[in-house]
Chains A and B, each alone.
Chain A
């Protein structure tokens, strides 16, 4: 805060556009941002640079690519497939179900909508560990949901279903993916004004033409970008999976957690770092698509 006070004249000067400002002056306008930049530099950039550097170091402290070679092999390589597939499925389910729910709730009264939004934000934000245990209580062999479904004639556990399998994880991820979709997608949906519907009708359009010519083109960018956000969300989710499976399912975050906890062979620290960097890589690709979509469209979620 003191920085803003100290350079208030700088603040004043920069109020208008000054294309011919000298380079020094331009750097001066960066001064009030120093506390922020220092904070981010130390608490965000520094750890990230460090982990990227460590990913390229062998146990002897020399530069090597072995860690990355290793992390595409065996169970670690398999975890890429498991993690990405699971995230894609849960993002797809979340996106479709969430957009349907958002479509229904934009039509309800404002108080109902607020209540639903509040509930969604709790489920989407505070999820993690509590959700995992809630889910175990409900869908476990002794849980009320399992018993009720059995009474209705559907034995959940008749097939290969267990809570700790990929299916179980996808099911529990739905509990925060769908609310997140509702939260982010609703504002975009509210942009579709009723006037568009009226215009379509008065110009002789049908329900079908409204859907294909107006709703889909208008909403698809928001839908796609939010889906990618959901993907990233479940891809990096750790708390729920860890609390539920205790590391039995080969998901990338779980494997990394095991590696650094020393549950497996020692001296594999750098493998963990390489895995973590690979996760950032996958995430960057996905978010790159997200940003491209966002820039391409005018619909900002």
Chain B
């Protein structure tokens, strides 16, 4: 439903694009500076990537992201499926619980975790994953809930159960594939959140990729800017590919991969 844009709309879009694109270009230019802004090359990027911290911290962040995504699915999918099947009376309660992280500022939550958790839990960086599950709940709940509302869940479950599948098989091989796009959305949200999260990591004294960028900025600001540009553009490209690629193309690909 393409509608006609008037000149005010064009003006708004123009100003907005300038406001968002120009600083990104400016930052990119800045990150390419070398020898006191006399020449431009990739030396800042090279320097940053060669640091020891680059690989380890990026690795930590990616492992956290994967663990968070898995934990979100294992915890949320069965719970929300149950809410749609037999546990409808608890839906309001669970919905409310899932909104709580939106109300609690992350710094307050982080402080609570730092004081409340016993030492053995705080001895591994992967504790962050469980906390990321909590703070991503408002978004992942919504994504999965919308996905499950749009399919004939009860019919699918009955058909699957009548054909002799166990509840677990039904969940894994019937429900999850049917709500694949919602599951993808939830995974994407959890991954994006855990890759960019800063507050919890800092307050609990862990090093992840974002805190590492903040750390090296104190000695080498150009490298920090280079890494920032890198991570923003990288995230943007990934999301853009997912959003713009036609759906049929994507499903064909996954079918091929499965075959």
Q: Which residue of B lies closest to A121 (CB)?
A: B239
Question: B52-60, B191-199, B248-256: which lies at the A interface?
Answer: B191-199
Q: Which B107-140 residues have C-beta < 8 A from chain A?
A: 107-109, 111-117, 130-131, 133-134
Asked whether A50 and B134 contact (CB < 8 A) given A29-B86, A114-B243, A232-B102, the answer is: no
B9 touches A104 (CB 8 A): yes
Q: Which residue of A lies closest to B88 (CB)?
A: A14
B90 touches A30 (CB 8 A): yes
A137 touches B115 (CB 8 A): no
B243 touches A117 (CB 8 A): yes
A33 touches B167 (CB 8 A): no
B85 touches A50 (CB 8 A): no
Asked if B258 is an interface residue, CB under 8 A from chain A, the answer is no
Q: Which of A26, A117, A280 gathers most chain B CB within 10 Å?
A: A280
Alpha-carbon separation in the docked complex, A107 to B4 (Å):
7
Alpha-carbon separation in the docked complex, A33 to B86 (Å):
11
A111 touches B30 (CB 8 A): no
A260 touches B240 (CB 8 A): no
B2 touches A108 (CB 8 A): yes
What sequence of 0s and 1s flags, for each residue 29-45 of chain B, a beta carbon within 8 Å of any chain A beta carbon? 11100000100000000
Asked whether A44 and B100 contact (CB < 8 A) given A115-B240, A134-B27, A272-B111, the answer is: yes
Asked if B159 is an interface residue, CB under 8 A from chain A, the answer is no
B101 touches A97 (CB 8 A): no
A44 touches B105 (CB 8 A): no
B contact residues, total (Cβ < 8 Å): 95
Q: How far is the CB of A259 from chain B (nearest CB, A)?
A: 9
Q: Which A1-49 residues have C-beta < 8 A from chain B?
A: 1-5, 8, 10-15, 26, 29-30, 32-33, 35-36, 39-40, 43-44, 46-49
A104 touches B228 (CB 8 A): no
Q: Which residue of B lies closest to A135 (CB)?
A: B23
Q: Which of B2, B22, B117, B225 gathers most chain A CB within 10 Å?
A: B225
A276 touches B107 (CB 8 A): yes
What sequence of 0s and 1s flags, for each residue 1-30 of chain B, a beta carbon within 8 Å of any chain A beta carbon? 111110011101100100110111111011
B79 touches A33 (CB 8 A): yes
Alpha-carbon separation in the docked complex, A1 to B9 (Å):
50
B225 touches A133 (CB 8 A): yes
A105 touches B13 (CB 8 A): yes
Q: How far is the CB of A269 from chain B (nearest CB, A)?
A: 8
Residues of A within 8 A of B114 (CB): 260
Interface range for A: 35 or more
Asked if B259 is an interface residue, CB under 8 A from chain A, the answer is no
Residues of A within 8 A of B20 (CB): 119, 123, 175
Q: Which residue of B lies closest to A12 (CB)?
A: B86
Question: A61-69, A198-206, A219-227, A236-244: which lies at the B interface?
Answer: A236-244
Alpha-carbon separation in the docked complex, A135 to B242 (Å):
27
Contact of B75 among A11, A35, A133, A272 (CB under 8 A): A35
Q: Which A146-192 residues have C-beta < 8 A from chain B?
A: 148, 174-175, 178
Alpha-carbon separation in the docked complex, A8 to B89 (Å):
17
B9 touches A103 (CB 8 A): yes
What would 14 more interface pairs be, CB under 8 Å, given A15-B85, A260-B203, A283-B104? A1-B74, A29-B89, A33-B82, A39-B133, A43-B133, A44-B134, A108-B13, A118-B240, A128-B198, A130-B229, A130-B231, A137-B29, A138-B30, A273-B115
**B interface, CB within 8 angstroms of A:** 1-5, 8-10, 12-13, 16, 19-20, 22-27, 29-31, 37, 74-76, 78-79, 81-83, 85-90, 94, 97, 100-109, 111-117, 130-131, 133-134, 154, 166-168, 171, 189, 192-193, 195-199, 202-203, 210-211, 213-214, 217, 221, 224-225, 227-229, 231-232, 235-236, 239-240, 242-244
